[in-house]
């Protein structure tokens, strides 16, 4: 039976690859909904980008719920300098005809999870964790009902990408991240230490394009444009394909390696958004997350290309 999942996201091209992979894996994953949050771009644009991607592959049946426009108690810091003014630079997709589903994303998360058996639904988080934090605040029983939370976020020895010690998703709303990591649900954290090993690379994008389907051509251009910032920053061939690691982990966990550890979230200004990973267990604090630090990059891109290619209907 396919695993029910909810994908919480602030769509740039990485995010869209992730939820389209899920749609291309119907035997393993049942995508109940996409929930959007202000992050890489303002909420109105992240929601629109999710709808554009669904229209591109002819998947209008997947509901998209708009959620929090900004963090719990801070101003939103977007990342247009990476993803372009609309968060989806690189290929001119038309304005979507699809509309968001009625309702507020955190409420939809609660309703979808609580309507199913205990430990049935997996939350897949690709963005600041505001929506999930709000859902946990509304329904205290939610954490115990989740099968697990798998999130792309944080950094350990790799260092941060928006500060010396913080990764963007956690940095934007550290108070929400602290609430999520303390909620008691099983958590898998995929940090920059892992995703920075999985570079798009020209040869990998050429394989993606060679599939020959219209949506694969679109994502060839979207990912090429999206990774220019990282190529210039790091001097690499391509940039990290961050968010699809979450879906790839659900499909092929053997591609990843890590360990169960304690993770604390810093909300202090100097270290805002730092994920303090007790890799060696020196604090004696309870384990609250599996942190992944290893990835089979070739196997990862194999599953990305395969499942993304299956996303389009018809």
Residue 314 has pLDDT above 70, yes or no: no
For 235-286, give the DSSP string: --SS-B--THHHHHHHH-GGGEEEEEEEEEE--SSTTTTBEEEETT--S-PP
Catalytic (active site) residue 215 = no
- Residue-wise pLDDT for 93-123, tens only, equals 999 999 999 999 999 999 999 999 999 999 9
Average pLDDT over all residues of the chain: 97
CATH number at residue 186: 3.90.245.10
In total, how many domains does the chain have? 1
Cα(136)–Cα(123) distance, integer angstroms: 12
pLDDT band at 313 (very low <50, low <70, confident <90, very high): confident
Give the chain's count of helices (H) and strands (E). Answer: 14, 9
Residue 38 lies in a domain: yes
| pLDDT tens, residue by residue, 273-299 | 999 999 999 999 999 999 999 999 999
Q: Which of 121, 40, 118, 30 lies closest to 76 in space, CA to CA?
A: 40
Q: Which residues have CB under 8 Å from 131's CB, separation 6+?
A: 8, 35, 37, 67, 68, 105, 106, 109
Strands 256-265 and 289-295: antiparallel
Residue 249 banded pLDDT, cuts 50, 70, 90:
very high
Contact 191, 292 (CB under 8 A): yes
- Whether residue 63 is contained in a domain is answered as yes
Q: Measure CA 233 to chain center.
A: 22
Q: Residues 83, 196, 215, 242: which is the catalytic one?
A: 242
Prediction pTM value? 0.98
Cα angle 313-308-196, degrees, rounded to a multiple of 5: 160
Reduce the DSSP state of residue 45 to 3 states and report it. helix
H or E element at residue 132: helix 130-138
The pLDDT, as a whole number, for residue 108 is 98
Question: Would you list the DSSP string of 54-80?
Answer: HHHTT-TTS-EEE--SS-SSS-----H
Is pLDDT of 175 > 80?
yes
Domain assignment of residue 314, yes or no? no
Q: Which domain holds residue 82?
A: 3-309
C-alpha distances (whole Å) from 233 to each of 9, 68, 191, 196, 291 are: 24, 30, 18, 13, 25
């Amino acid at each position: 039976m396919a695993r029910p999942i909810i994908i919480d996201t602030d769509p740039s091209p990485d995010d869209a690859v992730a939820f389209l992979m899920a749609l291309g894996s119907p035997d393993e994953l049942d995508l109940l909904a996409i929930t959007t949050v202000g992050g890489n771009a303002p909420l109105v644009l992240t929601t629109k980008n999710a709808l554009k991607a669904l229209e591109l592959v002819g998947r209008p049946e997947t509901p998209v719920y708009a959620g929090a426009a900004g963090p719990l108690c801070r101003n939103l810091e977007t990342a247009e300098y990476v993803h372009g003014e609309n968060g989806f630079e690189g290929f001119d997709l038309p304005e979507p005809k699809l509309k968001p589903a009625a309702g507020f994303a955190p409420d939809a998360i609660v309703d979808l999870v609580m309507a199913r058996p205990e430990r049935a639904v997996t939350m897949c988080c690709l963005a600041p964790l505001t929506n999930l934090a709000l859902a946990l605040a509304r329904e205290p029983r939610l954490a115990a009902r989740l099968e697990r939370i798998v999130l792309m976020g944080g950094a350990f020895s790799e260092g941060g990408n928006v500060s010396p010690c913080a990764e963007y998703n956690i940095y934007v709303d550290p108070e929400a991240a602290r609430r999520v990591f303390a909620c008691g649900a099983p958590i898998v954290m995929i940090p920059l230490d892992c995703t920075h090993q999985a570079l798009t690379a020209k040869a990998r994008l050429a394989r993606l394009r060679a599939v020959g389907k219209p949506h694969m051509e679109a994502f060839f251009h979207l990912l090429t444009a999206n990774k220019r910032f990282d190529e210039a920053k790091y001097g690499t061939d391509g940039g990290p394909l961050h968010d699809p690691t979450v879906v790839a982990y659900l499909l092929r966990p053997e591609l990843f390696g890590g360990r169960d550890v304690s993770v604390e979230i810093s909300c202090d200004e100097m270290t805002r958004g730092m994920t303090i990973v007790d890799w060696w267990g020196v604090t004696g604090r309870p384990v609250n997350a599996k942190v992944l630090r290893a990835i089979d990059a070739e196997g990862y891109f194999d599953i990305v290309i395969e499942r993304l290619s299956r996303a389009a209907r018809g």
